[in-house]
Structure 1
Amino acid sequence: MTTSKIKNMVDFAAVSGISRPTLSKYFNDAESVRPSTRSKIEAALEQHDYRPNIYAINQNRRRTRNIGLVVPNLTDPFFAAIARTIEGLILEAGYNPLLLSSHGGPEQEISNLDSLRSIKPAGVLLAPLGRASNADAVAAFAEEIPTVLFDANLEGVEAAFFGSDNTQSIGLIVDYLCRTGEPPVFFEMETPINPNALRRRHAYQTSMERLGFEPAFVRVPGEGWDFEEIGSREGAKMLASKTRQTNTILCSNDRLAIGLLSAAFEADIKVGLGADSPLRIAGHDDHPFAKYTCPSLTTISQDYTSIGARSVAAILAMADAPDDNLPPENALFEGRLVMRGSA
């Protein structure tokens, strides 16, 4: 192995005797060069211990091999799990995933998109904040860079979207709760943070009416992404008031439900299916912690394997043909009822 430091591809071309265009072609797609040339390049790489700066190579292209992935909050295990799934699919396709978190803030969300724009990505997968998002700025970005939205859609943004069918999933769990006990009230924040929450609110109402029951809502104050804290604090107030019309509570998402379970424990109220349990609690999303609560949380599992696969397939198709003017693809995926001990 040589002891001289190879600083860039120009240096490597000089010491290896291989032209820079051929090297660029190899680093873009090794199978695109002749086997004999490929062997020579690989031998030279080993001899000189050279590893190219893929970022710099990408920057010289009209579009890079980078795909941006932006989620609302990576501290949330739910979005961390989704991101891991999508990252793996991007890597399998031979692209470089660049994962960014918006940390629950609209300014950071747009800052992330601006940063990605500067490196000319092949495309971007965005799970938007929702109500807090700057939809106009996202729409402008999507006109310039191939963009796919997942998890939550944004009105006025012309982009492909893949997410869960909240009408189907809420209908499924409302049917189950009504069939196995008292009809549920719907526990939610007064000002939902994303479009999914609004769709779930509407789906609950229509499902209850379809079954012949009067919808009942518990709308609690709270802002931001501290769902567990809101669920615990406001749930404690609700439980203390003893004004519930039913012993069954369906929460808008699992994180609110986890907080409510905590409040029930503190109030010494047993949660579960048996006759000795005066309270049933259910959620939505199948949060990674839902199976480990006490009791474990009955919920709806979103099909994020399919959502991730379709999102990645769509962004790869757009990256391969960025000038195609096809209408944005949209698809919703059904949820699956997960029956556990809480309801």
Structure 2
Amino acid sequence: MPRATISQVAELAGVSTATVSRALSDSRRVSATTRQRVQDAAQKLGYSGNSIASALRRNRTDTVGMVVPSITNPFFTSLVENVEHVLQEQGRQLFLCDSRQDAEVEARHLRSLLARQVDGIIISPCHDRHSGAAVQAAAKRIPLVQLDRQVSGTSTDWVGVDDHEAMRLLMEHLDERGARSAAFVTSTMTNSSTQLRLIGFRTQAQRLGIHTREEWIQLGDYSVAWGRAAGRRIMDDTPRPDAIVCADDLIAIGVLRACRDRSVAVPDDVQVTGYDDIDFADFVHPGLTTVRQPRERIAAEAVRLLAATAEWGGTAAHTALAPTLVIRGSTAQRARTGGV
């Protein structure tokens, strides 16, 4: 069937083509009654208008690009979902890109989003240094907000969780549960969140007098498989730590599996903590004690900062939101004991 035209909509609604254009662009110069008549006619004829031409006239496309390191990671999946919900409420659409933890792939996605003329970009950079040039280049052209992770040497807004506060909550909890030694399993030091969590672990361990050893600091990636491999290494060491602190929940789930492989009871023999509070954290056995990031608030703030940058510009904002400690069965309810 031939595509409906604006003239046909105007004829059916009994108005001029100019009125149709104004009505479909939500112009205040059209009465509510006329707008409804035009919309009914457009719907009946299946008229969708020319979104590209409309975007050019309004100087916006009502689209936002989002780039995340891995869409398979449940934490980023949840962030994407929350950002999409906020944008949907505003009548805007999301273009999602997965960088696959590769800075070159990430740079190509950024260039593609710019070519699509998105109104802004929300990105969680995959690498602290290698992502910097592409992120800064994009930020010079359109509003850009960094989410969760951030790259150094860039002048953009950022929103995420307070990693130092999160590690304080976790380590004080383990201290109260009697842990006098702890290991830390994380990814390689390629992004800001990973670095801050390790710094926070070391700082809090020293402050609380919780013993750690360099061989207990295991660097790999954010995956269940790595958590299982690192957990086995730690379980095979002598002496074994009282607790294993993990930089995310996927790693922690792998560590729980490693403990089961080695017949090590959690939390009686060793306590395990995660980070992010993904949905699976409450379904593993025992339930995982972890840090909950306020994902809904992070998403809403990222979209707000994007709009504020587009409208006002100005100095970049750095927004660190408070985390929450979620206590489950992977940490013991026991009194503090002495010794290492």
Pair 138,192 (structure 1): closer, same or farther in 2 beyond 3 Å: same
Change (3 A) 1:96 1:221: closer
How far 1:305 moved relative to its partner?
A: 1.8
Q: How big is the shift at 1:94?
A: 2.0
- CA offset at residue 46 of structure 1? 3.2
1:99 Cα offset (Å) = 2.0
Aligned counterparts of 2:327 and 2:140: Cα–Cα separation in 1: 43
Question: Could you tell me whether the CA contact under 8 Å between 2:274 and 2:291 is conserved in 1?
Answer: yes
Q: Cα gap change, 1:215/1:237 in structure 2, threshold over 3 Å: closer, same or farther?
A: closer
Question: In the alignment, which residue of structure 1 is the partner of 2:145?
Answer: 148
Q: 1:21 to 1:96 in 2, by over 3 A?
A: farther
Residue 341, structure 1, aligned to residue 329, structure 2: yes
Cα deviation digits, residues 73-101 of structure 1 (max 9, x gap): 11112111111111111111222222222
Q: Is 1:163 aligned with 2:160?
A: yes
- Give the distance between the partners of 2:261 and 2:53, measured in 1 at CA: 56
More displaced stretch, 84-93 vs 204-213:
204-213
Matched with 2:76 is 79
Q: Tell me, in whole angstroms, the C-alpha distance in 2 between the residues paired with 1:190 and 1:35.
A: 56
Give SS of 1:68's match.
strand
Tell me whether 1:313 sits opposite 2:280 in the alignment.
no
1:269: which partner in 2? Answer: 264
Deviation (angstroms), 1:243: 3.6
Identity, % of aligned pairs? 28
Displacement, 1:103? 2.2
Paired with 1:45 and 1:68, the residues of 2 have a C-alpha distance of 29
- Contact preservation (8 Å) 1:30, 1:38: no
- Give how far 1:327 is off: 0.3
Using a 3 Å threshold, how does the CA distance of structure 1 residues 23 and 196 change in structure 2: closer, same or farther?
same
Partner of 1:247: 242
2:278 pairs with 1:287:
yes
Residues 92-141 of structure 1, C-alpha deviations (whole Å, 9 max, x = no match): 12222222222222222112211111121221111221336421111010
TM-score by length of 2: 0.88
Kept in 1: contact 2:170–2:325 (CA 8 A): yes
**Which runs of 5 or more structure 2 residues have no equivalent in the other structure?**
332-340
Q: Does the 8 A contact of 1:184 with 1:247 survive in 2?
A: yes
- List gaps (5 residues or longer) in structure 1: none
2:93, 2:28 → 1: CA distance? 18
TM-score, normalised to structure 1's length?
0.88
**Count of residue correspondences:** 330
1:257/1:38 CA distance change after superposition, 3 Å: same
Superposition pairs of residues 88-99 of structure 1, within 5 angstroms: 88-99=85-96
Residue 234 of structure 2 is matched in structure 1 by: 238
Partner of 1:176: 173
* Preserved CA contact (<8 Å) 1:184 1:250: no
